[in-house]
Chain A
């Protein structure tokens, strides 16, 4: 069954609480809106609460801020509502007047004691790792940060909250203001008792810190790409890349630093080799906006490669989608066999892979999924810095959803640890693409700035990040000699060839101290000197359009138009169509026409649907001649569903998910073998085979199809009425007529008997 709006949200709630109950901690770090009630209550008695009151004090004892390599991080203006939990509590602790003896803590008798120590261990392990690369920085840059750091010492402690086991951390940090209030009330009472405890902890910490290797095993890189689109809109693409030199599935990992524990344990437990999840609201209009850095279909998309060791892939897939549903607060639990397919050619593993046995692949799209803040918040929680520092400061929900397009994604894949590729590292990419409509907000002007788009500015890099950069696409400057101006002047200018197009990027390195020398915050602005007046947009080389044609409720036709505007090169494209079973495809009507001639696909994989079991899957490899339009049509018949199978809003229509086009698009410009690590964002996600072409994946529009729908209220009324009539009139008469009445001597018989006698008289039977 397809989810409906109302139902979905309700079920989400159920799912999350249920998931929590069943799966314990790793599935429990779900979404905050649903958890508020559960957590707010549950939090009161847990030891975790006390723990966090202890923690700052501990840190103060161990950590000397003057030895930090970090430039001091200005305090965040206001933490977002609802995320305030532990943050504000910590701040309060710090702002107590320089209490050198720790005042917070909990009675040792509490069971939280042991967990508290573990947490502290994690803390200690984490810290040397960050202090270690101090030498990496140039000596010249040292004085400036230090001078600032001494000026704002107390604040730094707050920002440097290291990452502990995410389970604990997130539970507290996601707590509601309600929970925070509870903590506040309790604090004075607890204050005096923790002193002894705090004295023991440092010793433990120091012991633990000596143990593990000091090698830095994970790294975070954060990037933001701002690119003005041809139509005048602005696309902002965030990418947070966490790379971890550990072998996750071996299960040897127990400690998580930057990598989110929820996802890490998921990968380890279910034998996931690659996981790609995208939640999208809106539709990337390739024709007007050009080729996307990374496209996703409207709704939710999930595709996963499992390890060859997984025996029951379907079971693992079901479990995975349910857990992810809890983590991201999305109705991914509606993924079942009726919308899951196993494509054979369209989706190759993007990371390291030995074999590509496609039976280990599962792919599902929920086109109806609505993405909103409830999905964004858990996504943000996975970031090492949350949304407290670094580029993630800009992720303010009310601005992000005031846009034309919003797509957030999580990609996990194994990659080579180094050039020799002897060991495996795991990479987590969290990406977020937003398109801002500058037209409606700017009264026709297309100038933009960070503040205008996000109503925030950048103040610092995430202290845990080893790279933090903002790229601004200023390539129109070269191409059309159009005057546009970027302020402040960029740190450097980077040229790259992305998707067959020469691009110039202005780069702002947030880690370079010179950036924040002149002003406290970075507010990138772009101004057009001359109004852009080009009604002819540059058409992208590959774009597509899909629609349902025909009228009436019996049959219809799905048509897909694929455009190849490359002037002289033909290239093949793989088309993947997933059509739900209630549209019965007539495969013999499949026609592919290019330039008036039939175009025979060189590869076809068709898996017919089974009613209520699995969808149609159609994969084709089609050659697109240069400068052509290819039209693919296939007819279908609309099935009449069982009446319980209709959604609560059947007249809205039923969605058909986007079809997927995967292609190696030849580029117009020869691509140099540039340093992939240097170019922004996604160039390293998709492998490019050679310099002359690049990989592209496009999604078409989802479709809305009306099925023949009965009038649901009318049968109900009729059934009710008939049942009543039958029950009351016919039932009682039937009862009277068929019952054998026994004569009871003493009584003369009541009303029933007299009635029965009357009827018997009519029937000509002697009376009782």
Chain B
């Protein structure tokens, strides 16, 4: 019942009363109006054409031309060469050993001591993409250079190899080395970066702007930055979308509800994937608020030219320039059913709480049952342990004296060993695999992951061998109790960091985990349910759901391909940017699920 309540609560989040209108919390951005005077849309286009020409000539990023142009605009120009060898070849983007150069110019604010700065970044991607973004950036730089009101330095960054270049630049700027990017050390710096905007624009005119907020590991920028963008879109009459979905004007009709639920689900899926949905995603780790703006040119009638787009950006930067403090006033944890409405953490957390309640409830029942059979004095139990703190129960384990506890050690160890194998073997063993099987490295890695994953399911048989005969009812109940609590703690912690991922995992794993038992008539049914609840299947289902929501349903074969790609992507994300999704699944959730699997096949 609690489970149903949780799901219901979640679905209701998209409903109007629960999602209040967004509002600007930051004082410095709220009341002060700025008047935009950017008029150089034509110049932006001519810069874009010139850039495109030089890019074609150079066959990549025209470093020298960019440096010269920025210098002539009066900026302080720096370049940053970097190189990175991927752990295994990336097949979707066709890259393995990456070499690139980031070029950036710093506009020094007059009379400021370079303690704070803002970033406007533009990825220089292959092909004809993003030329207009570079052009607009240069036009903005030349316009900004003539103004005297800047209080923060502005960094205009063109990064090569999109996220890789961005990661290299950010690491070099903050002088840390988290991933194994090699880059030159000494750079021009401009103090603490306060906010960043990443711009992607591939056409001369746009019909709408799509804004991407989800960053690495599901981190979100401060809601005020989003509000700022929304406010300027409204001021300039630009259409703006989130998750590619335009907001509907009617709120109380059923289709409108379905629409906002779709948007919400898309956001939950995107956030759960832990993948940065744009270059901005990497900024968030450094506590820099950032969003990505994507210009979309569709078949709509109304088109906006570069001047309007430039004005929007100018306004945003001038308001950010007015900031006295970092953006901190508004929400950092929220879900967006549309651009102008948000669900705050206080409202969505109960949905998750209800789900976790199922786990703790059944754990408690197990403990009760344990006590009843084990003729220990009946303790007056607390009626309902508070859901977020199920960890309190674990130290109060009453069975120290019994031999049954030792039985649990082998399955625990074996499950975690399987997790470790899943985490380390694929990348380490890729060379062995390519030598013995006719597959490429990346295929080898993905297939190894799946193989180990599936092999883990055969573990119960091995664990039986390690275990003596003294099993019985009580030991599987203890094991299940342990697994349930373990799962509850994991999910509870996760939901605080990345609600979407926690919620998705909870929604799939909780029912199966609650009902699983080795005895009973419908063991096959239970097994099927448990297999459905495994994280890998969740991922597969998530992919199908996502395609469904963007109205491009995938066939089974295509879905499988996407699934393989997603696995490879997840591994790469972890190694390249430090995404935590893969290690979390491999080291925490997967062993936990294996424990439950063990329970199912307990003899």
Docked-complex contact B110 and A403, CB < 8 angstroms: yes
Residues of A within 8 A of B114 (CB): 283, 701
Docked-complex contact A440 and B148, CB < 8 angstroms: yes
With an 8 A cutoff between CB atoms, is B564 at the interface? no
Q: Which of B61-111 contact A (CB under 8 A)?
A: 67-68, 71, 74, 76-77, 108, 110-111
Residues of A within 8 A of B67 (CB): 535
Interface SS of B by simple majority: loop
Q: Which of B292-349 contact A (CB under 8 A)?
A: 324-326, 328
With an 8 A cutoff between CB atoms, is B371 at the interface? no
Residues of B within 8 A of A652 (CB): 324-326
With an 8 A cutoff between CB atoms, is B572 at the interface? no
A388-428 interface code vs B (CB 8 A; 1 in, 0 out): 00000000000001111110000000000000000000000
A124 to B541, CA, bound (A): 99
Docked-complex contact A651 and B325, CB < 8 angstroms: yes
Question: Known contacts A652-B324, A702-B115; is A404 also within 8 Å of B189 by CB?
Answer: no
Residue in A444, A545, A652, A702 whose Cβ sees the most chain B Cβ within 10 Å: A652
Task: Among B76, B192, B285, B324, point to the contact of A706 (Cβ < 8 A).
Answer: B192
Among the 9-residue stretches A318-326, A462-470, A548-556, A757-765, the one with 4 or more Cβ atoms under 8 Å from chain B is A548-556
B100-128 interface code vs A (CB 8 A; 1 in, 0 out): 00000000101111111000000000000
Docked-complex contact B192 and A437, CB < 8 angstroms: no
With an 8 A cutoff between CB atoms, is A653 at the interface? yes
Residues of B within 8 A of A405 (CB): 110-111
Question: Known contacts A545-B189, A706-B287; is A651 also within 8 Å of B74 by CB?
Answer: no
A535 to B285, CA, bound (A): 35
Residues of B within 8 A of A549 (CB): 174-176
Docked-complex contact B115 and A404, CB < 8 angstroms: no
A701 to B106, CA, bound (A): 15
* Interface size counted on chain A using CB atoms at 8 A: 45
Within the complex, what minimum Cβ distance (angstroms) separates B217 from chain A? Answer: 14
Docked-complex contact A402 and B148, CB < 8 angstroms: yes
Residues of A within 8 A of B502 (CB): none
Docked-complex contact B176 and A701, CB < 8 angstroms: no
Residues of A within 8 A of B174 (CB): 549-551
Nearest chain-B residue to A299 (Cβ)?
B113
Nearest chain-B residue to A699 (Cβ)?
B113
With an 8 A cutoff between CB atoms, is A620 at the interface? no
With an 8 A cutoff between CB atoms, is B560 at the interface? no
Residues of A within 8 A of B110 (CB): 282, 403-405, 437
Chain B contact-residue range equals 20 to 34
Docked-complex contact B112 and A283, CB < 8 angstroms: yes
Residues of A within 8 A of B325 (CB): 649-652
Within the complex, what minimum Cβ distance (angstroms) separates B331 from chain A? Answer: 12
Docked-complex contact A655 and B115, CB < 8 angstroms: yes
Task: Among A440, A552, A706, point to the contact of B145 (Cβ < 8 A).
Answer: A440
Docked-complex contact A285 and B108, CB < 8 angstroms: yes
With an 8 A cutoff between CB atoms, is B234 at the interface? no
Docked-complex contact B175 and A439, CB < 8 angstroms: no
With an 8 A cutoff between CB atoms, is A559 at the interface? yes
With an 8 A cutoff between CB atoms, is A288 at the interface? yes
Docked-complex contact B76 and A288, CB < 8 angstroms: yes
Task: Among B108, B111, B176, point to the contact of A401 (Cβ < 8 A).
Answer: B111
Q: Which of A543-572 contact B (CB under 8 A)?
A: 545, 547-553, 557, 559, 561
Task: Among A298, A440, A557, point to the contact of B74 (Cβ < 8 A).
Answer: A440
Docked-complex contact A551 and B176, CB < 8 angstroms: yes
Task: Among B74, B115, B146, B286, point to the contact of A704 (Cβ < 8 A).
Answer: B115
Q: Which of B162-206 contact A (CB under 8 A)?
A: 174-176, 186, 188-189, 191-192
Nearest chain-A residue to B110 (Cβ)?
A404
Q: Which of A671-722 contact B (CB under 8 A)?
A: 701-706, 709
A403 to B109, CA, bound (A): 10
A124-155 interface code vs B (CB 8 A; 1 in, 0 out): 00000000000000000000000000000000
Residues of A within 8 A of B192 (CB): 548, 653, 704-706
Residues of A within 8 A of B111 (CB): 281-282, 401, 403-406
Docked-complex contact A547 and B112, CB < 8 angstroms: no
A288 to B71, CA, bound (A): 12
Number of residue pairs across A and B with beta carbons under 8 Å? 91
A402 to B71, CA, bound (A): 22
Residues of A within 8 A of B148 (CB): 402, 440
Nearest chain-B residue to A288 (Cβ)?
B76
A417 to B394, CA, bound (A): 85
Residues of A within 8 A of B77 (CB): 535
Residues of B within 8 A of A650 (CB): 325
A402 to B110, CA, bound (A): 8
Within the complex, what minimum Cβ distance (angstroms) separates B104 from chain A? Answer: 15
Nearest chain-A residue to B287 (Cβ)?
A551
A561 to B172, CA, bound (A): 14
Q: Which of A623-657 contact B (CB under 8 A)?
A: 629, 649-653, 655
A557 to B192, CA, bound (A): 13
A702 to B114, CA, bound (A): 8
A406 to B113, CA, bound (A): 11
Nearest chain-A residue to B76 (Cβ)?
A288
Question: Known contacts A298-B113, A557-B175, A652-B326; is A703 also within 8 Å of B108 by CB?
Answer: no
Nearest chain-B residue to A658 (Cβ)?
B113
Docked-complex contact B186 and A704, CB < 8 angstroms: no
Within the complex, what minimum Cβ distance (angstroms) separates A396 from chain B? Answer: 16
A545 to B189, CA, bound (A): 8
Docked-complex contact A651 and B113, CB < 8 angstroms: no
Within the complex, what minimum Cβ distance (angstroms) separates B175 from chain A? Answer: 3
Residues of A within 8 A of B186 (CB): 545, 561, 629
Residue in B110, B176, B191 whose Cβ sees the most chain A Cβ within 10 Å: B110
A649 to B286, CA, bound (A): 20
Nearest chain-B residue to A405 (Cβ)?
B111
Residues of B within 8 A of A550 (CB): 174-176
A405 to B111, CA, bound (A): 5
Within the complex, what minimum Cβ distance (angstroms) separates A158 from chain B? Answer: 35
Within the complex, what minimum Cβ distance (angstroms) separates A544 from chain B? Answer: 11
Task: Among B108, B147, B286, B326, point to the contact of A551 (Cβ < 8 A).
Answer: B286
Residues of B within 8 A of A404 (CB): 108, 110-111
Residues of A within 8 A of B286 (CB): 551
Docked-complex contact B113 and A551, CB < 8 angstroms: no
Docked-complex contact B71 and A704, CB < 8 angstroms: no
Nearest chain-A residue to B116 (Cβ)?
A704
Residues of A within 8 A of B108 (CB): 285, 404
Residues of B within 8 A of A703 (CB): 115, 191
A367 to B325, CA, bound (A): 17
Residues of A within 8 A of B287 (CB): 551-553, 706
Docked-complex contact B146 and A440, CB < 8 angstroms: yes
A705 to B287, CA, bound (A): 12
A282 to B285, CA, bound (A): 30
A537 to B146, CA, bound (A): 22
Docked-complex contact A701 and B175, CB < 8 angstroms: no
Within the complex, what minimum Cβ distance (angstroms) separates A4 from chain B? Answer: 9
Q: What is the interface of chain B, defined by CB distance below 8 A to chain A?
A: 67-68, 71, 74, 76-77, 108, 110-116, 145-148, 174-176, 186, 188-189, 191-192, 285-287, 324-326, 328
List 20 interface pairs A-B (beta carbons < 8 Å), by A numbering. Answer: A5-B324, A282-B112, A282-B113, A367-B113, A403-B111, A406-B111, A440-B145, A444-B74, A548-B192, A549-B176, A550-B176, A551-B176, A551-B285, A551-B287, A557-B175, A649-B324, A701-B114, A704-B116, A706-B287, A706-B326
Known: A404-B108, A550-B176, A704-B115. 7 other contacts (CB 8 A): A5-B324, A282-B111, A440-B145, A440-B148, A551-B287, A652-B324, A701-B113
Q: What is the interface of chain A, defined by CB distance below 8 A to chain B?
A: 5, 281-283, 285, 288, 298-299, 367, 401-406, 437, 439-440, 444, 535, 545, 547-553, 557, 559, 561, 629, 649-653, 655, 701-706, 709
Which are the 4 A-B pairs with shortest beta-carbon distances?
A549-B175, A298-B113, A651-B325, A283-B113
